[in-house]
């Protein structure tokens, strides 16, 4: 499924409200929190922020595909939001594999559901895979997105709502990479 307009994207994201994938917050709140954390950390990088906002869209579109949710989401937004946003969405599960393989403290704070889906997503990375990940064009942004992803599971946290994202989404949609 391809989302061809900001309106269609916002409607799809809205479907994440009250949809759960085993985490403490619903999918919409999770993605809003992820985008807000990245907006605070990287205020000038709208593409990274928007990637955070849409990163689990694949789970909204296909709740039964944890192993493919990253690519499902990337395919849905690529024509609208451009190649970099799509690559960040596509790679966020691989960034988990990378961090699990390189940062013991990271593994210790993963949610139960993230640990459960890790094996489905390929498990830990071998050295050659880690080297390949680090050499990737978007590795720094992928790690930033992944760390925000894991932090964005706080019940009751107040963050900007979906409507507040429209200007940034339209800006990124107007200037796809
Ligand atoms: Fe996520």
Q: How far is the CA of 9 from the centre of ligand 1 (A)?
A: 17
Q: How far is the CA of 75 from the centre of ligand 1 (A)?
A: 17
| CATH superfamily assigned to domain 6-174 | Hypothetical protein af1432 (1.10.3210.10)
**Residue among 141, 171, 113, 170 nearest 55 (CA):** 141
Place of tokens 């429209």: 166
With H, G, I as helix, E, B as strand and everything else as coil, classify residue 38.
helix
Write down the pLDDT at residue 177: 62
d(CA 36, CA 6): 18
What average pLDDT does this structure show over 72-86? 97
Q: How far is the CA of 36 from the centre of ligand 1 (A)?
A: 13
Q: How far is the CA of 31 from the centre of ligand 1 (A)?
A: 7
Q: How far is the CA of 34 from the centre of ligand 1 (A)?
A: 8
Q: How far is the CA of 30 from the centre of ligand 1 (A)?
A: 7
Kindly write down the DSSP assignment for every residue of 58-124, as one continuous string. HHHH-TT-TTTHHHHHHHHHHHHH-HHHHHHHHHHHHHHHHHHHH-HHHHHT--HHHHHHHTTTT-S
**Residue among 102, 103, 92, 81 nearest 150 (CA):** 92
| pLDDT band of 149, cuts 50, 70, 90 | very high
Task: Give the H or E element holding residue 7.
Answer: helix 6-14
Q: pLDDT tens across 31-67, in order?
A: 999 999 999 999 999 999 999 999 999 999 998 887 8
What average pLDDT does this structure show over 102-116? 90
Those residues whose C-beta lies under 8 Å from the C-beta of residue 174, and which sit 6 or more positions away, are none
| pLDDT band of 114, cuts 50, 70, 90 | confident
Q: pLDDT tens across 5-27, in order?
A: 999 999 999 999 988 888 889 99
**Residue among 174, 168, 170 nearest 48 (CA):** 168
Q: How far is the CA of 53 from the centre of ligand 1 (A)?
A: 9
Write down the pLDDT at residue 103: 94
């Amino acid at each position: 499924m391809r989302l061809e307009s900001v309106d269609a994207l916002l409607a799809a994201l809205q479907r994440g409200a009250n949809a759960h994938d085993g985490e403490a917050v619903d999918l919409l709140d999770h993605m809003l929190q992820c985008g807000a954390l990245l907006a605070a950390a990287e205020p000038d990088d709208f593409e990274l922020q928007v990637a955070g906002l849409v990163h689990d869209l694949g789970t909204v579109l296909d709740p039964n595909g944890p192993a493919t949710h990253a690519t499902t989401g990337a395919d849905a937004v690529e024509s609208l939001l451009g190649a970099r946003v799509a690559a960040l969405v596509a790679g966020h599960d691989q960034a988990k594999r990378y961090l699990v393989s390189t940062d013991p403290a990271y593994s210790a704070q993963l949610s139960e559901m993230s640990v459960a889906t890790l094996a489905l997503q390929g498990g830990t990375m071998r050295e050659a895979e880690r080297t390949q990940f680090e050499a990737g064009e978007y590795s720094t942004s992928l790690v930033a997105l992944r760390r925000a992803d894991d932090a964005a599971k706080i019940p009751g946290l107040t963050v900007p709502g979906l409507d507040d994202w429209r200007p940034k989404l339209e800006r990124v949609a107007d200037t796809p990479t």
